[in-house]
Chain A
């Protein structure tokens, strides 16, 4: 007989209580995992950022455009390898609830800057040579059942009117962290239309996307770009893609902090629940622990029994919680793909789940262990009968 066997049998001696506690831990681990995944999803754009990409925008605000004429001057700056540009289009497909990100970009260089968007060469060729062409991510195409050659109409919000596009390409992400829910179309289509409709809004871009030859010199290149346009009508602010994305995140930092706090509160609550279970267990078993001590078992043996039982309960809940995290995250990610295009359970989240369960199991056992170890044998034996 091994003591591990005894631990396992002890843990499930009071089946209903243990089952309810395990269910509680499972739900807590699941909730913790989901909340941590939501936080990761929030930072997905930052994580996907490349050190070799810079974003140049109007120094006053992202809302204000930059002239298209900056393109050639940026290209001449030392360290700049590739320049693309674009504008947030903000079009709606049929209804607001169908929201997805859509951009007018100079597609050929833009896709060179984003090698993680994998597009078949013939599709890229078709997109570049058809002014009304668009390219969408795989998940977006699946969501609306779009196929190559389909016509897609977006209702303009920033740029008025109904805009018709022909789907010429569907890109796939290089890995799980690539956003496959975006749409890109030719900036020339937007510009030519605006030239006809509202001429003063033509020849303007929302941002420049710049590829640098050496990522370690990105800061110097960014400074050079901004220096070039200093004291112009539209001064620029150039930053790494990561800093640019973090700028967006900082606007919603309070929400992220609130989610983080809730995730820790969940763990504290379940810690109290498991501690209660272990306190009840230890109180019921005080007599047995006294018998163990009478037989010659030492304090560390008793501590092993209490801690072991607590850890078996918490780790069983953790294992079930982790096993459920993946399917639940998939359902969650599919349902909320509009808001979280990347909703993957990170390995660090699972490690945090396990660490949280270990912490819960350990902390919950401290007080019951102290009681079981310090009680005098004679007092413990008096509790029997």
Chain B
């Protein structure tokens, strides 16, 4: 079903390597694939396989050595640092493994952060933040600081922050990696709901086969080489 949709992400001949001293270590080798709009893709693989690197390249927070990434019709591999920052603020919602909330800001303020880069008025920002927090079920925790929330709640705030700008793609790097089983299930259900109900394209890196089960497509990375889609 997903394959019939037009691709929102087109990756062609993508390679990336790191330098350690005089040694060059290839991480991704000549990767090409498409991600249709509205797809839920899980990237799996052992540690060091390059899945987080691929996710970072897709989110525009790292740069490839060669190849191209076309997202929503925009070629991000040739963008300048400044253009890439602006593009990220508009098109990417990033969910981190360790939530990465700012501890001195309340849930409301954390979710509001990406909106400070927009031209929205204070009232409009407030409306967006309240909606996002309602979607993740934390409308009653707006004034709480991260330290006053459980891990699952913190991750939900992080998801609200990723959602609040209505991005083109949601990228999640081990979103349940720091959570207990129950909280992890809640977070996966929430991401699944965002994919099904809101039609968000989700790209998720995970080690957890149970998390990957939620995805439409699972791709494995091994030593920088991407396997064919499964499921």
- Of A123-131, A269-277, A314-322, A376-384, the one touching chain B: A376-384
A138 in the interface (beta carbon within 8 A): no
Q: How many chain A residues touch the partner (CB < 8 A)?
A: 23
From residue B164, how far is it (CB to closest CB) to chain A in Å? 10
B31 in the interface (beta carbon within 8 A): no
Contact A293/B113 with A6-B102, A13-B104 known, Cβ cut-off 8 Å? no
Contact A297/B96 with A1-B112, A6-B102 known, Cβ cut-off 8 Å? no
B116 in the interface (beta carbon within 8 A): yes
The 7 closest A-B CB pairs, nearest first, are A296-B89, A9-B104, A377-B61, A1-B109, A291-B100, A378-B62, A385-B98
Residue positions of B touching A, CB distance < 8 A: 53, 56, 59, 61-62, 81-82, 85-86, 88-90, 94, 96-98, 100, 102-105, 108-109, 112-114, 116-117, 161, 178
A287 in the interface (beta carbon within 8 A): yes
Specify which chain B residues have a CB less than 8 angstroms from the CB of A378 in the assembled complex.
53, 56, 61-62
A10 in the interface (beta carbon within 8 A): yes
From residue B100, how far is it (CB to closest CB) to chain A in Å? 5
Specify which chain B residues have a CB less than 8 angstroms from the CB of A203 in the assembled complex.
none
Contact indicator A384/B96 (Cβ below 8 Å): yes
Specify which chain B residues have a CB less than 8 angstroms from the CB of A298 in the assembled complex.
82, 85
Number of A-B contacts (CB under 8 A): 66
Specify which chain A residues have a CB less than 8 angstroms from the CB of B53 in the assembled complex.
378
In the complex, what distance in Å separates the CA atom of A299 from the CA atom of B104? 21
Contact indicator A384/B62 (Cβ below 8 Å): no
Contact A295/B105 with A1-B112, A376-B62 known, Cβ cut-off 8 Å? no
Contact indicator B96/A291 (Cβ below 8 Å): yes
From residue B174, how far is it (CB to closest CB) to chain A in Å? 10
In the complex, what distance in Å separates the CA atom of A254 from the CA atom of B109? 57
Kindly identify which residue among A3, A9, A293, A381 contacts B85, using a CB–CB cutoff of 8 Å.
Answer: A293
Specify which chain B residues have a CB less than 8 angstroms from the CB of A384 in the assembled complex.
96, 98, 100
Contact A297/B105 with A3-B116, A291-B96, A378-B62 known, Cβ cut-off 8 Å? no
Cβ proximity bits A262-301 to B, threshold 8 Å, 1 near / 0 not = 0000000000000000000000000110011111111100
